[in-house]
Structures are given as C-alpha cells and as structure tokens.
Amino acid sequence: MADIRQNDIESRSAPRDEDGSASVSRLAWVSSGLGLLLFLGSVGVLGYEGVTRGSGPPVITAVVEAVVPAGPRWLAHIQVTNDGGKTGAKVQVEGQLMAGDEALETATAEFDYVPAGSEQKGGLFFDRDPRAHTLRLRVLGYVEP
Amino acid sequence: MDITRQRSFLHDEAQFARALARASAGAIIFALPLLMTMEMWELGFYMDRFRLALFILVTLPVLFGLSYFAGFEETFCWQDDLIDALSAFAVGFLMSAALLTVFAIVRLDQPLPEIIGKIALQSVPASIGAMLARKQLGQQDDADRERRIRSSYPGELFLMGAGALFVGFNVAPTEEMILISYKMSPWHAVALAVLSLGLLHIFVYTVGFAGQESAGDDGFLSVFLRFSVAGYGIALLISLYLLWTFERIAGLSMMELVTATVVLGFPSALGAATARLIV
C-alpha cells in the first residue's frame, strides 16, 4: 500500500496530459479503501467469532414471553435461546399445560435453525388459558445441520 | 509507468464511476441464483467461522488474478489490479448486503456475526461477478491482452481454476450435491468422471485455448494432458475444497467422498472448460 501512495504522490507532481489526470481518481481510492475495510472487517469479525465461540454442543433454552388471546384460543409467545457453541437444526419445543402432575394439553413447535448465540421466536396455541395453569416448556431435541 | 497508468480508466472519475456501475450490475446478475438459495443463508450463520474466514481470504487473490486477466476495467500495473480487486469486493459486499436486507434475510435484530456471515458468504460470488462484468457487459478485450493471456500457461491454469470455482460455487451449497452422490453407484461415478473429462477436452479444444495456434502446433496428447487432464485435476481439487468449506464431507466414507467430489467436479469441469467464455 505504501508503494501505491508513493507512486500516487509522484504522479501527482508529474505533468498531466489530455488523456486524464495522472493520479488515481478519488473515487477509486474511496471504493478500494471501502473494500479493504469491509474485507478486513468481515475476516476480523469471523475470526474473532471463531476464536471466542466455543465448539461445544447447542445449549438451547425456551421461555414464555407473553400469553395473548388468539381468536377462540390462546397463544403463548415463546423465545428460544442458544448459548452453546454450535447451531441446532429442527429444534423441537413442547409446551404442556399442567394440572398437578397431569398434562391437560400439549402443543409443539419446531424451529428450523437456532444459530449459536442467537434467539428465535415462535408460538404455541392452547384451548385453555395458559395463565390459569402451569405452562411447562421443554426443548425436546435438535439435529446437527 | 506513469504514461501507461494515465491510460487506465481508474484515473478518470467519470470512467471509473461507469465501471463501478457496471460492476454493480455484474454483481447482482452473477450472484442472483445464490442470493436466492436457502442453503446460502443458512451456511452464512452455521458454517465453521474459520472456514468462512479462509474462504473470504482466498477470494482476494482470485479477484486480483481476475483483474489482471480480465477486470471490469483495463489495468496496467499491479497497484491498479489491487485497487480493482478491493473495489470489486466492496461492490460485491454492498450489493449482497442491500439485496439480503430487501429479501428480509438480514435483519438488524440479528446478532452481528450472523449478519456478517450471511453477507460475507454472498459477497464471494457477488464480487467475482462484479469483476466479470467487464467481459460480459462491457467492451471486449483487445487483441494484445488476449495474446498475453493465451501465451501464459500458468495464466490458463488460473483461469480454469477461477472458472471451476465460480461455476462449482453456484451449485456447491445445495443439498442436491450430496443427494446425487448417494443415489449413484460407483459405476455411475466412473461414467460421470469420464463424461466430465471428455466434455472438458471438447470444450477446451473447440472453444477454449487451442482454438487457434495451439491446435496446429501441439498434438492431441499434448493438449489433452496439458489442458484437459490438468484442468480436470484443478476442478476436482476445487470441488473438494468447496465441499470441505461448506461442511458437506464430515462423516462421509471414502467412497462417498470421492463420489461427491466427482459430482461437484462435473459443473466445476464445465466451468474450467468455458472459463475463456465467461472470464
């Protein structure tokens, strides 16, 4: 890079002819500088992510965010979070409305992907109001992508 | 050198702006199939970070070489080629970012590494497309440049490699590569390898490198070994590298690995053979 700059300074002092300016145009500097920035930036972010992100299995948890009426039924908004090192695919989440030890109702949802370090949202439908019962959420399993 | 540098487009603001616009069009057109491929979005966030970083690193020398042989504008020294390669990466990255955002594949509420991963992976074909825009959308190479490229054997091999990478990359991320190899028997694989090599040779011989002078000077065996066999070898190596990059070969037996490489080697070989048409 220093070589180019040197060259640029040299050519700037050189006489110009009708063919155009002798120095590299400002637009070329801007676009190639931006390219260098994006190049180093993406390699840097990916490298940093590769170093800091563990290589352990997916650790996926699910929580209920809110319960709202949905037509004649009830909808529980859920959010799954993957704190592990790898992405889980086809992540199945099961929600059960419990009355004591007995499950009154079961609903499931499947997430295509829960990438490592990210959150995904979904919902479970129930006939009964989940707020009147205990809602037990379980992440059942995943496959490696 | 200053005299030749003055002739280059990139010393003229308006000319360079036109070249950038053409590069943007090339980035969109060439990367469109991959921008609209589901596996590419998914690979962007789940593929191994180091393999993706390495893939981005490999892209820059490829862009540099493509600029030397056929950039989106005429270049006359290596500094110009470096500027063009970096500009093509910028164009490819920004076009990928814009289109993935419009497609709602990239959203601001996603974690930064996920966003960067998706865009960076797409920027590889997009920046190569930006670099190829001149040949496809702009004016043709002049005779001197053609001669310079044709006279250099390493240059020919590089172009075949770049063609194999570009065409192979267009299908490598899809599930079908592995699915096809599961369906094939070893005899199917042998037949496909023979077919790939045969087509590669026919393309090289008729539309490729040996079209003019070489055909007269060199015998069949020389062209076959120097271009067709060498080109198929490059295509297979690049196929294996792509399969490894996209984590398609983990857990495969040796037989399945070879079959999958031969399957991807087919489009790669055709890419290598037609590199002179594309590049």
Last residue of a domain, which of B88, B108, B140?
A: B140
pLDDT in tens, B106-161: 999 888 888 999 999 999 999 999 988 865 555 444 545 554 555 578 888 888 89
Q: Please give, rounded to a whole number of angstroms, the shortest distance from the CA of A16 to a CA of chain B.
A: 9
Contact assignment for B53 to A7 by CB distance below 8 Å: no
Stretch B29-50: mean pLDDT = 90
CB of A79 within 8 Å of any CB in chain B? no
Mean pLDDT computed over every residue of chain A:
82
Q: Where in chain A is the domain with CATH 2.60.40.1620?
A: 60-143
To test the contact with chain B by mutation, choose from A36, A39, A53 the residue with the greatest count of B C-beta atoms within 10 A, namely: A39
pLDDT in tens, A63-102: 999 999 988 999 999 999 998 888 899 999 999 998 888 8
pLDDT at A21 over 80: no
Alpha-carbon distances, residue B249 vs A112, A127, B165, B197, B258 (angstroms): 21, 46, 18, 23, 10
Q: Which residue of A has its CA nearest to B127?
A: A35
Q: What is the pLDDT of residue A132?
A: 86
Q: What is the pLDDT of residue A95?
A: 92
Task: Identify the helix (H) or strand (E) that includes residue A95.
Answer: strand A88-99
Alpha helices (H) in chain A, listed in sequence order: 2-13, 26-52
pLDDT at B82 over 50: yes
Q: What is the pLDDT of residue B211?
A: 40
To test the contact with chain A by mutation, choose from B41, B79, B123 the residue with the greatest count of A C-beta atoms within 10 A, namely: B79
pLDDT at B69 over 80: no
pLDDT at B195 over 70: yes
Q: Are residues B254 and B135 in the same domain?
A: no
Task: Identify the helix (H) or strand (E) that includes residue B2.
Answer: helix B2-7
Residue B9 covered by a domain = yes
Residue B148 covered by a domain = no
Q: Are residues B121 and B88 in the same domain?
A: yes
pLDDT at B56 over 90: yes
- B273: Cβ contacts below 8 Å, ≥ 6 apart: B160, B163, B199, B200, B203, B204, B207, B208, B231
Helices B13-35, A26-52: inter-axial angle, 10-degree rounding: 30
Total domains in the fold of chain B: 2
Q: What is the pLDDT of residue A11?
A: 41
Q: Are residues B36 and B108 in the same domain?
A: yes
Last residue of a domain, which of B75, B105, B140?
A: B140
Q: What is the pLDDT of residue B93?
A: 96
d(CA B69, CA B86): 16
Q: What is the number of CB-based contacts under 8 A between chain A and chain B?
A: 136
Q: Which chain B residues contact residue A29 at CB under 8 A?
A: 83
pLDDT in tens, B14-26: 888 888 999 999 9
Last residue of a domain, which of B140, B171, B202?
A: B140
Pick among 3.50.50.60, 2.60.40.1620, 3.40.47.10, 1.25.40.10: CATH of A60-143: 2.60.40.1620
Residue B147 covered by a domain = no
pLDDT at A108 over 50: yes
Q: Are residues B102 and B22 in the same domain?
A: yes
Q: Residues, chain B, total?
A: 279
Q: Are residues B119 and B160 in the same domain?
A: no
Q: Which chain B residues contact residue A42 at CB under 8 A?
A: 53, 56, 93, 116, 119-120, 123
Q: With bands split at pLDDT 50, 70 and 90, how would you rate the model's confidence at B212? A: very low
Q: Please give, rounded to a whole number of angstroms, the shortest distance from the CA of B128 to a CA of chain A.
A: 13
Q: What is the pLDDT of residue A26?
A: 84
State ipTM.
0.83
- What the block records as the tokens of B166 is 């570009």
pLDDT in tens, A63-74: 999 999 988 999
Q: What is the pLDDT of residue B238?
A: 97
Q: Are residues B128 and B168 in the same domain?
A: no
Q: Which domain holds residue B264?
A: 153-278
Q: Are residues B63 and B193 in the same domain?
A: no
pLDDT at A18 over 80: no
Q: Are residues B165 and B117 in the same domain?
A: no
- B187: Cβ contacts below 8 Å, ≥ 6 apart: none
Q: Is A81 helix (H, G, I), strand (E, B) or coil?
A: strand
CB of A64 within 8 Å of any CB in chain B? no
